Structure 1
Amino acid sequence: MPNQDTTQNFVRDGFTWLGYLLIGSSTYTISCFGPFMPFLRSELHLTYTVGALHFSAWAIGVLLAGLSGDKSMQRFGRQKVIWSGSAGICLGILLIIVSRNPIFTIFGALLGGFSGSTMGQTINTILSDRFGSQRAIAITEANIIGSISCFLAPLAVSTSMRYGINWRLALAVPLLTLSILFLTFRKRQVPGSEPKTKSKAAAALPQAYWAYWIVILLNVGCEWSLIFWSADFLEKVVKLPRIDASACVSVFMAAMLLGRICGSRLTRNFDIHTLLPIAAVTALSGFALYWLGNNAILSVIGLFITGLGIANFYPMTLSAAIAVASDRAASATSRMSLGTGSSILVAPLVLGFIADRSSIFVAYGLVAALLATCTVMVFVANSLAQRHEEQIQRLATETSKTSVN
């Protein structure tokens, strides 16, 4: 159905663009990890396991941010959290660039994950407060910038190496970007930047929120499992040459970008509760074709369709979750990081564990199960959200009648 609340003009102010660029810088940083890891492992003589610990450390940082993000916003204010998060990303990058000891590079990844996630939570909270019923447009656009960053990061690493410079030059990009943003915007007041006194009796997040939380938990697990292991699947199961299989991962990323661009337009005219089930069914259908196609063309087409569907799960689900959380947007975005961090940390590892003991084809059955459960949970969450909204309207009506009497 058309979304009446979002048909009005969507106006981006200075902070909107600042938030987009900050999120893009954080996404760019983590997107560099995969491309530069072979070079870092070679320089420091690291095993695959120690190299993988950098990804795990980043995910643990995201998870820890989920435990503390809302408390940091409340205690220090949003402005300080944003710029300290930006500084934390820069410090993490510097540790990775200059350290010759994996202990420090892994700690740099941990610091980057924690700082980037805390900063991202704060930006999403502000965008939600700023745009209200149009928050889905803003959050989706922020994720579009993140998707573009995912493309630019490996290109920057490969270009640096191709011209005989150094992969570290690619990591100078977010350092420079974040520094320029700080110098340009540091004196501009961030909306809702003042610390707030803690409420004595904050309402618990509603059931509908936790249903959407499960949707994001499952969806992020699927997304990162596909990013981590789709090249192996296409090589081992579909029998594509290794170079072609690796190149086909970009098909998934391109679909994610295209899906979010389309999603940004659709959320202007349709309610996200209508769009989410469509995204879920699209992703599930595409994955079935990718997993069971047993043909290079069908599998790649399926991977593309899966990316189109998965692309809008996170921004739309986060928007729906924040909406039912009402005035607890900070807690809502913070708790979401618990789900994303846990999923990024666990899902690809579990899939790899199953693949080692059976096959990558069997392991992908886990992703199928996650996507199927995720699709069911979308309908459950939407139902709970509708019930929650009806309850709020009923209470408002009863309160109005009481005040009149």
Structure 2
Amino acid sequence: MPRLVHDRITWLAYAQLGLWGFFLYGFGPVVPLLRDEQGTTAAVAGLHSTALAAGALAGGALFAPVARQLGRRPTIWLGLAGVAAGVTGLALLRPLPATLTVVMVIATAGTLVVSGVNVVLTTRHGRAAPAALAEANAACAGMGILAPLVIGLSVNAGWGWRPGMAVVVALIALVAVATLTPGVRRPRATATPAPRTRVTVARGARRLPKAYWIAWVLMGVTGSIEVCLSLWTADVLRSHAGMAPGAASAAVAAIVCGMFVGRLFGGRVALRLRPVPLLLAALGVSLAGFTVFWVASAGWLAIVGLVVLGLGNALHYPLAISLALAVAGDATDQAAGWSAYSMGVGFGIAPVALGWVADGVGAHLAFLLLPGFIAVAALLAVRLGRALPAPAPAEQPTPTPV
């Protein structure tokens, strides 16, 4: 069984991904407040989500060349500096074109962070990478629970949302000072390499193996599940479970809570089970949770279903990205960059499709698209399992640069 070593580089990567998670999960509650300030419609305010997707695509294109020039860990710090600068700009600017531009810049920088952390953890931990990525995303989800609370407290105190969002700038500065201050021992640039497989790509090559593209589509499908839940769950809770608007919006946090717990403990499970069977099990848990949520006519039961749904969803992305990077051979930087496109496509298309169906039959019936996404993801996971090379025998790790 592979062993996950929590060294300084690993803890730092967890912290860096958590910093991005603070903005990502905190920005959702900010969008309605921006809409009120700017006097726009909900549809126009929703363009901020489009800006996020566009920024993710730009960051995906930039990651590989920037990482080649600067190195992976400096690229992560560059991304965090961009997030801090962007959040500062978001706090200072008011016009809609300006906030849309700044959000796109933040998403571009954040994608550099996500891609860099994924590659560093995959390169460092080898067969234990799925566990490391699950725990890193647990840190991200944990900040997703904290960020809306901090922003809500700031608003309730009469300060507005800006001081609450600005907390992430202070946290980025704090982590940077703690890590980069002279005299503080920095992580050494050594790593445990990923195990050798029959799928290899020569350094600098642009072609990625078939198994990678199956994982790429899988990330887009599972990402579609997550974004549809984020945007439309509150409507179903109001229309079918009879919850008040405020309570329905707050109840969406049940998904994030389930994801946090699932990723926290899923990392341990990932050390014992192979990724594809574990991913299929996670999809089964998601389907069970969705079933409870969809049939529930009582708010408390629907929330229970959402927690279970979050537990299953927790491992979708960490397992899919770990599989994608594992089969990419020496092209991990390129593979990490392309993965942002998958998530961007899923985030951009699925909510529009579900909304179009919801206009005709209502949000509750339209949500039946989600079991379809889960079924497609399961088929892709099975196909991916067949495309993966046979596991190589365990090797003694030798230090290699991250």
TM over 0.5: yes
* Structure 1 residue 40: Cα displacement: 2.0
1:17 aligns with 2:22: no
CA distance in 2, matches of 1:50, 1:257: 31
Cα distance per residue 1:123-176 (max 9 Å; x no partner): 211111111111112111110100111111110111011122221111221101
1:55 aligns with 2:49: yes
Q: How many matched pairs? A: 380
CA distance in 2, matches of 1:76, 1:65: 15
Aligned to 1:363: 366
* Structure 1 residue 349: Cα displacement: 2.4
CA distance in 2, matches of 1:302, 1:181: 36
The residue identity in structure 2 corresponding to 1:338 is Y
Match of residue 292, structure 2, among 279, 289, 294: 289
Match of residue 383, structure 1, among 376, 381, 386: 386
CA distance in 1, matches of 2:80, 2:188: 14
Aligned to 2:235: 232
Match of residue 168, structure 1, among 139, 144, 162: 162
* Structure 1 residue 15: Cα displacement: 2.1
CA distance in 1, matches of 2:356, 2:137: 30
Moved more, 85-94 or 62-71: 62-71
The residue identity in structure 2 corresponding to 1:373 is V
Instruction: Give the direction of change, closer, same or farther, for the CA distance of 1:200–1:159 in structure 2 (3 Å limit).
Output: closer
1:81 aligns with 2:75: yes
Moved more, 265-274 or 207-216: 265-274
The residue identity in structure 2 corresponding to 1:67 is A
1:350 aligns with 2:353: yes
The residue identity in structure 2 corresponding to 1:279 is A
Q: Please tell me whether the aligned partners of residues 78 and 190 of structure 1 are also in contact (alpha carbons under 8 angstroms).
A: no
* Structure 1 residue 315: Cα displacement: 0.5
CA distance in 1, matches of 2:309, 2:384: 21
Q: Secondary structure at the match of 1:205?
A: coil
Q: Please tell me whether the aligned partners of residues 221 and 347 of structure 1 are also in contact (alpha carbons under 8 angstroms).
A: yes
Match runs of 1:261-300 below 5 Å: 261-300=264-303
Cα distance per residue 1:70-112 (max 9 Å; x no partner): 1221133223312221111112101210002111111111011
* Structure 1 residue 22: Cα displacement: 1.3
- Using the aligned pairs only, state the percent identity: 28
Query: Which TM-score applies when normalising by structure 1?
Result: 0.88
CA distance in 1, matches of 2:189, 2:52: 28
1:338 aligns with 2:341: yes
Q: Please tell me whether the aligned partners of residues 79 and 190 of structure 1 are also in contact (alpha carbons under 8 angstroms).
A: no
Q: Please tell me whether the aligned partners of residues 219 and 370 of structure 1 are also in contact (alpha carbons under 8 angstroms).
A: yes
What is the alpha-carbon root mean square deviation over aligned residues? 2.3
Aligned to 1:30: 24
* Structure 1 residue 302: Cα displacement: 2.6
Q: Please tell me whether the aligned partners of residues 209 and 324 of structure 1 are also in contact (alpha carbons under 8 angstroms).
A: yes
Aligned to 2:92: 98
CA distance in 2, matches of 1:14, 1:185: 10
Q: Secondary structure at the match of 1:350?
A: helix
The residue identity in structure 2 corresponding to 1:165 is W
Q: Secondary structure at the match of 1:223?
A: helix
Cα distance per residue 1:255-274 (max 9 Å; x no partner): 11111122012112222232
CA distance in 1, matches of 2:333, 2:320: 15
Q: Please tell me whether the aligned partners of residues 231 and 248 of structure 1 are also in contact (alpha carbons under 8 angstroms).
A: yes
* Structure 1 residue 66: Cα displacement: 1.8
Q: Please tell me whether the aligned partners of residues 280 and 378 of structure 1 are also in contact (alpha carbons under 8 angstroms).
A: no
Report the structure number with the largest CA radius of gyration.
1
Q: Secondary structure at the match of 1:325?
A: coil
Match runs of 1:134-213 below 5 Å: 134-186=128-180, 188=186, 191=189, 202=205, 204-213=207-216
Match of residue 112, structure 1, among 106, 113, 116: 106
Q: Counting helix residues as a fraction of each chain, which structure ranks higher?
A: 1
CA distance in 2, matches of 1:389, 1:88: 41
CA distance in 1, matches of 2:19, 2:106: 11
Q: Please tell me whether the aligned partners of residues 230 and 252 of structure 2 are also in contact (alpha carbons under 8 angstroms).
A: yes
Give ranges in structure 1 of 5+ residues lacking alignment. 394-405
* Structure 1 residue 192: Cα displacement: 8.0
Q: Please tell me whether the aligned partners of residues 25 and 174 of structure 1 are also in contact (alpha carbons under 8 angstroms).
A: yes
Q: Please tell me whether the aligned partners of residues 204 and 331 of structure 2 are also in contact (alpha carbons under 8 angstroms).
A: no
CA distance in 2, matches of 1:31, 1:239: 26
The residue identity in structure 1 corresponding to 2:215 is Y
Instruction: Give the direction of change, closer, same or farther, for the CA distance of 1:190–1:65 in structure 2 (3 Å limit).
Output: farther
Match runs of 1:293-312 below 5 Å: 293-312=296-315
Instruction: Give the direction of change, closer, same or farther, for the CA distance of 1:380–1:173 in structure 2 (3 Å limit).
Output: same
* Structure 1 residue 189: Cα displacement: 6.9
CA distance in 1, matches of 2:188, 2:161: 34
